[in-house]
Each structure stands twice: as structure tokens, then as C-alpha cells.
Amino acid sequence: MAAPGPVRYAVGIDLGTSGCKVVALDAGGRLLAAAEARYPMAVPRPGWAEQDPASWWRAAGRGVRKLQAGLPPGATPIGVGVTGQMHSLVATDARRRVIRPAILWCDQRSEPQARRITELVGAPALSEITLNPSRAAFTAAKLLWLREHEPDAYGRLRHAMLPKDWLVARLTGRIVTEPSDASGTGLFDVPASSWSEPILGRLDIDPAILAEPQRSASVVGYVLPEAGAAFGLPAGIPVIAGGGDQATAAYAAGATGPGVLACSLGTSATVLASQPAPVPGCLSHVIAAQWLYLTSTHAGTLCLDWWSRVVAGPRRARPAEVLRAAAASEPGARGVGFVPLLMGERDPAPRRPPQTGSFYGLRAEHTGADLARAVIEGIAFEVRRIARSVPTPGPAPDTALGPPRRWRVLGGGTRAPLLVQTLADVLQEPLHLMPDASSAAGAARLALAGLGVGVPAAGEGGSGFQPDRGVDYDAAFGAYCARISGSDDIGR
């Protein structure tokens, strides 16, 4: 009997907000190893969020090398798939040198520019072309801010790239993008899958600064010798275009057909659902002829990290301590509520001040455990609130959440059982965990698909969380919605 050959694997690299995650999947789609390298986010002014792309490159290199240390001897990489935080602006000059720190997706400085885009283009045209309203999170508003506030930097700008596309350029020398990430810029014609000439014209943005769109699963280049040396990869292996982190996460979780909702519990919290047609609220999916409905809140597990820093003081912050404290309270946090909008809203309502994070209902008898519990419940309430907008096929029954759907949960938040159980109780839906599903895993699966290596479809996941039918969060959720919107409508 012949001995089995060496393991062949695809590398998936995810440039996240808090760090770079790297995975290796074998040709059958099985997770072989994973690694992570973190980097900081700078907040130079209130509402701003920036990162140095050089930190992404260093972290990606460390992550890939750490990954390889955990692989079987003789394992051979056959390709690289990439993904990363969406919307963030990487501005480079003609020599592809980074001009200034990247302006991240959660940065709110360009809210005035987002409103001006609506005035210049028109809400109906945006709804028809980009399928989304103009947002401060989107790259278009960041470009206008750069032109208005840093004209010298804008004058040197020759390439406006998204994080994963910047990484591809460093790996291969080619500047390309693909529809799922491009559709989150506010400059892309989502139904036509091309840059929008009318929008670019109205905003006076030169299309030459934008990357050429390719299919998400297409080979767009090959690892350069200097990049291979930095990452410990052989030069010449193919690099796949990849996808935006939310699209690759949905792909990894199997949100590729009707009736499946994927909730990505990471720094942000996102609800994802595949759509067969480009309806309002969609971005492009990494799968041809499918679109991805995406709704999110900027602060998911970021809230746990923040509260752990608050209570830790000079000690090292440990989110696990927040979770242990929260377990000592009870469902409902004894009346304390928390609004988790620490980085503002994705879609600020017109004619009212921007929302911020806050506690409410505080009384003298409340404890730190109650506040910790309120933070966790606030995240779950916001996920339920944003999930109400997901299009539902067929007539919806008269319930707060619509017809039953299959929920799949992935992301770093799945390592916090109390958070996941609270989410199940708030939604009153079973939640299936996808322990090996991640944006990085989706990028690796996409690489395998692009290389013609078949991988099985994502299943329901290993373990699940059943809702506690004895816990009724409806009243508390109604109070939460009233706090946000000024009404007691809870979506019935």
C-alpha cells in the first residue's frame, strides 16, 4: 500500500480590526492549523479610528510563520486566499507607498461627507446603484474627507485600496479588487458589478485610483520572492482575489442559500443572509449570482474589551473577568440596560443627535456584576434589533422575529458561552456554533474553490445553544428599542 503523499493546503489570511488571523485548510476543507498576531488601533481624536498598514504586513508575516509551525511535516501550500476589514481606506502614492494611516471602517469623522454624497448623488440613485445609503463607514466618504481636510495627501494619492487588496498588491505586485469588497465602498454599481461612472462623476473622483474588479475566486497573481521570504511561503504560488471579511465569513458559515442567517460576533456584530436578487441593503457576495444582505453594529465584542479595560484600571484588562462577573447577576441585569453604540451607529437616524453608548436604569443597589450583565445583554439586544431588517421570504407571521430561521454563529464571541446563550435567549432561536468558520477560513475555502479543489459545503456546526423558554426578554428589549428610537416598537 502506497504511503499517503504530503498534505496540501490553502492559506487564508484575514486582516481584521484587532489583529491578523491565519488558517490552513487541507484540500477537503478541514482546518489544519490557525494562528493570530495582534496590532493596535489608534484613536487620535474622538470618533476617529486608524491603523498603520505596515503593522498588518508584519502581523500577517508572523501569523503565517506561526501557522506553519503547527502543520504536519512536509505540508505544502498550494495557494493563498485573502480577506479583511471592509470599507477602510488605504491611500498610496504612485510608488505604492502608504501616504497616511489607514482610515478604518468604524471611523466616524466623515459623517458630513456622507450626507453631502446623498445630496450630490441623490438617495434614489444610491438605492438603485449601490443598494445602500451613503455612510460614514464607506470608503467614498473617507475619500471626500481626505480631499477636503488633507489636500496635500490627496494630491499625492494614486491608489485608493481596501486592506485586503493592499495585501494582495504587496504579495503579488498587482492592484486588483473583487465585487464583495468593492460593493462596500459606496462607489460600486452592485447589480452591474462594476464601478459606477455616474457616482464617480458626481463626486469628481478619478476612476484611475480604483482597482480593477476580478471574480472573488479568480487567481490574480503569484507570491513574489520578497513577499515569500517575509512570509515563509514559496515564491510563485497563486493568490486568489478573496473577499470582504463579512462575505467570506458568510461563505465559511454556509450562508449561501435561503433560510440561513449567520451572526458574526467579532469586534463588530454582523447579521448576514444570502439573497438571490440584489435587493436594497445588499452587497455583492463572493459567489456569482448571489448577493449578501448585511446589517451590523460597530461595537460587538468591542464592548466587552472596553468594559474590561474600565474595570481593570491599571491591571491588565481581561474580558473573561467581565463574563465571570456577569454570571453572578441574573437575566435582565436587575433593571440595568446598556446601549452598545460605543462607535456610533451604522445608519444614524435623520433629525436626531447621533447615538452613543450608555447605561440606563441605574440605581444605588446595582453592582458591577449587573453592569457586566447589562453589557452582554445590550450586545444581544442590538443583534436582535438589526436582524429585524433582514428580508424574509414568504409572509411573516405576527411575531417579533419573523418565521423561524437557521442561525449560525461564528467569530471570537463564540468563545464566550454566556454571550451566546444570552443571544439565544434574546432571539428565542437555537444557535448553531461554527467553530471552524471565520473570515480567514472563508478566504482559504475560496482559494481552494478558485484552484479547482472541491470542498464540502459548510454544515450546521458542532454544538448548539438552545433558548431558555423560561427567560422572557421582550419587555427589556422594548425598553432598549425605546431608548434608541424614542418609541416602544419592538418590530412586531
Contact status, residue 110 vs residue 142, Cβ threshold 8 Å? yes
Which amino acid type is present at position 488? D
167 lies in the same domain as 74? yes
Cα maximum dimension of the chain: 74
The SS3 call for residue 71 is coil
Q: Is the pLDDT of residue 33 over 60?
A: yes
Identify the domain boundary among 253, 285, 318: 253
- The pLDDT tens digits of the residues spanning 92-149 come to 999 999 999 999 999 999 999 999 999 999 999 999 999 999 999 999 999 999 999 9
Read off the pLDDT of each residue in 82-87 and give the average, rounded to a whole number.
97
218 lies in the same domain as 349? no
Q: Is 310 within the bounds of a domain?
A: yes
249 lies in the same domain as 353? no
249 lies in the same domain as 308? no
- The pLDDT tens digits of the residues spanning 232-291 come to 999 999 999 999 999 999 999 988 888 899 999 988 899 999 999 999 999 999 998 899
Read off the pLDDT of each residue in 282-302 and give the average, rounded to a whole number.
92
331 lies in the same domain as 201? no
112 lies in the same domain as 244? yes
Identify the domain boundary among 253, 275, 310: 253
Count of domains in the chain?
2
243 lies in the same domain as 321? no
Question: Within 13 Å of residue 230, how many CA atoms lie on the same side as its CB?
Answer: 16
351 lies in the same domain as 467? yes
Tell me the catalytic residues: 245
* Closest CA relative to residue 267, chosen from 253, 252, 255, 249: 249
144 lies in the same domain as 31? yes
Helices (H), 173-232: 179-182, 197-203, 225-231
Q: Is 240 within the bounds of a domain?
A: yes
Q: Is 37 within the bounds of a domain?
A: yes
C-alpha cell at 118: 446623498
Pairing mode, if any, of strands 76-84 and 8-15?
A: parallel
pLDDT band at 488 (very low <50, low <70, confident <90, very high): very low
Q: Rounded to whole angstroms, how far apart are CA atoms 218 and 450?
A: 6
Torsion of CA 290, 385, 132, 433, to 10 degrees: -30
317 lies in the same domain as 425? yes
- Taking residue 392's Cβ as centre, other Cβ atoms within 10 Å add up to 17
Q: Is 191 within the bounds of a domain?
A: yes
Q: Is 34 within the bounds of a domain?
A: yes
- Taking residue 463's Cβ as centre, other Cβ atoms within 10 Å add up to 11
DSSP class of residue 47?
T
Mark 244-260 as b/e (b = at least 16 C-beta within 10 Å): bbbbbbbbbbbbbeeeb
Q: What number of residues does the chain have?
A: 492
- Taking residue 45's Cβ as centre, other Cβ atoms within 10 Å add up to 10
Domain that holds residue 131: 8-253
223 lies in the same domain as 327? no
Q: What is the distance of C-alpha 170 from the center of its chain? A: 22
Identify the domain boundary among 190, 222, 253: 253
Q: Is 313 within the bounds of a domain?
A: yes
Q: Is 287 within the bounds of a domain?
A: no
pLDDT band at 317 (very low <50, low <70, confident <90, very high): confident
Q: Is 174 within the bounds of a domain?
A: yes
Q: CATH number, domain at 137? A: 3.30.420.40
DSSP class of residue 274?
E
Q: Is the pLDDT of residue 58 over 60?
A: yes
338 lies in the same domain as 205? no
Least confident of 45-54, 217-226, 310-319, 341-350: 341-350
